[in-house]
Amino acid sequence: MDNKYNLGQITKTLEKLFGAGFNTDKKILAMKLEDLEKLNNLTSSEMMIIIDFKRAIKNRQIISFLSGYKEKGNENKWKNLKLM
């Protein structure tokens, strides 16, 4: 298991994301790089959490994202995604 982020980091970042109005799958998937400016005091690690969360939504792997567990065979899906 690869825990890239801890649950506290994820929760704090998602609170910022939801507070800025990105509170549905559709809104998060439509989010562009410029939209990250709406989030106050966003760190580089929080940006990466948001990018990875967006990938997880797109791949329907939210539980895997939250748990830090990636199933074998899904690595290529993460690499080939076009995000923003």
Task: List per-residue pLDDT tens for the chain, 84 residues long.
Answer: 456 888 999 999 999 999 999 999 999 999 998 898 878 789 999 999 999 999 999 999 999 888 887 766 555 555 555 555
The predicted pLDDT at position 73 comes to 59
User: By the 8 A CB rule, do 10 and 66 touch?
Assistant: yes
Alpha-carbon span 34 to 55, nearest angstrom: 17
How many C-beta atoms lie closer than 10 Å to residue 48's C-beta? 14
The predicted pLDDT at position 75 comes to 53
The predicted pLDDT at position 2 comes to 54
The predicted pLDDT at position 27 comes to 96
Alpha-carbon span 24 to 19, nearest angstrom: 12
The predicted pLDDT at position 15 comes to 94
